[in-house]
Amino acid sequence: MSFPLVRMRRLRRTAAMRNMLQRVKIHPSNLVCPIFVDENAKVPISITVMPDYYRFPIQQVVDEVKQAVEQGIKAVILFGVPSKKDETGSSAFAEDGVVQEAIRKLKKEFSDELVIMADACLCEYTTHGHCGIVKNGEVMNDLTLEILQKVAVSQAQAGADIVAPSGMMDGQVRFIREALDDAGFDEVAIMAYSAKYASSFYGPFREATECAPKFGSRKSYQMGYGNPNEALREMEIDVNEGADMIMVKPALAYLDIMYLAKSKFNVPVAAYSVSGEYAMVKAAAKNGWIDEKAVVLELLTAIKRAGSDLIITYFAKDVKSWLSQI
């Protein structure tokens, strides 16, 4: 035989060899753990549509996050379930709001050992469930920007390291940056939910935080999934407005967008593997149809391989022990 066989399997022979050559590796320090804080809860409330996930009372948030930190997690993102909702979502920027209280407790306990992110949006706080102020059945972009400024500043005042506007209002990054700087928080970063799609994968989250819109949909402000160029435009605008990081959300059905994001922009790219992705894996695993641990590690690796620097995932706390088992 004139040409030798190319034996690709030589480098796959042993686990040590495979490990040595694995370029894309999941590490808990690149994961962000979402935490749901419930102002009314006295004990953790299990979320039926997100098996093994809970809404925590403010008093128990520190304990829950301690467990995550023990699992190598260095970052959390907080979502609030307030006791009071109104038309303008005013409890989203209350000094004693549910997220603000939780941030204060976490900052006191963990100081700079933990990155505290806060989702800045109104949908969990408004009676109509939309991400902005509603007038005559429409979500009003510019009126909402002023509220988002208050939300971001109140979160920064409480001690958030990063605010993450997720309402897909035009100009939200610029307005929030200005407000943070004016209030003396020029060191607080913005992680923009830039490429956020109007996705059916958010269903379980909306049930978990009781934020489903009471009328219409979010399609007039979140992106449609058929047009990748629009995502590039959104990301470009956010970077120009001063976003320190950009996000692609959901993750699994949008790996191409993540790849584009990483190739086009020189800022960290976050991926949000959302509630529906979590629920799908859990449902199949609970039926014994897939191996949860193996599937999650494969999926997270794919999300990283596509270009994300950090991943928000409801599996964050499990990863360390799973990695040690493979």
Q: Does 152 bind ligand PBG (CB under 6 A)?
A: no
Q: Which of 105, 196, 262, 282 is catalytic?
A: 196
Cα of 157 vs its chain's centroid, Å: 21
Segment near ligand PBG (CB under 6 A), from 137-145, 181-189, 202-210, 293-301?
Answer: 202-210
Q: Which amino acid is at 60?
A: Q
**Binder among 192, 274, 300, 316 for ligand PBG (CB under 6 A):** 274
Q: Between residues 120 and 180, which has the closer beta carbon with respect to ligand PBG?
A: 120
Name the pairing type of β-strands 54-56 and 133-135: unpaired
Q: Does 154 bind ligand PBG (CB under 6 A)?
A: no
**Binder among 206, 262, 282, 320 for ligand PBG (CB under 6 A):** 206
Q: Does 160 bind ligand PBG (CB under 6 A)?
A: no
Number of neighbouring beta carbons within 10 Å of residue 194: 31
Rounded Cα–Cα distance for residues 235 and 249 (Å)? 12
Q: Does 248 bind ligand PBG (CB under 6 A)?
A: no
Q: Does 205 bind ligand PBG (CB under 6 A)?
A: yes
Q: Does 202 bind ligand PBG (CB under 6 A)?
A: yes
Q: Does 275 bind ligand PBG (CB under 6 A)?
A: yes
Which residue reads 């991943």 in tokens? Answer: 311
Q: Between residues 198 and 284, which has the closer beta carbon with respect to ligand PBG?
A: 198
CB contact burial 207-245 (16+ within 10 A = b; e otherwise): bbbebebeeeebeebbbebeeeeebbebbebbbebbbbb
Rounded Cα–Cα distance for residues 187 and 190 (Å)? 10
Segment near ligand PBG (CB under 6 A), from 147-155, 178-186, 200-208, 279-287?
Answer: 200-208
- Annotated active-site residue 249? The verdict is yes
In the bound state, the residue with its beta carbon closest to ligand PBG is 205
Rounded Cα–Cα distance for residues 154 and 90 (Å)? 11
The two structure tokens encoding residue 90: 């005013």
Residue among 228, 314, 319 nearest 271 (CA): 314
Q: Which of 249, 262, 282, 304 is catalytic?
A: 249
Number of neighbouring beta carbons within 10 Å of residue 109: 15
Burial class (CB in 10 A: 0-12, 13-18, 19+), 314: buried
- Annotated active-site residue 219? The verdict is no
CB contact burial 69-78 (16+ within 10 A = b; e otherwise): bebbbbbbbb
Point out which residues pair with 116 in neighbouring strands: 76
Segment near ligand PBG (CB under 6 A), from 18-26, 68-76, 135-143, 199-207?
Answer: 199-207
Q: Does 90 bind ligand PBG (CB under 6 A)?
A: no
Q: Interface mask (CB under 6 A) for ligand PBG, residues 111-150, using x and -?
A: --------x-x-x-------x-------------------
Contact positions vs ligand PBG (CB under 6 A)? 119, 121, 123, 131, 166-167, 202, 205-206, 218, 274-275
- Residues forming the active site: 196, 249
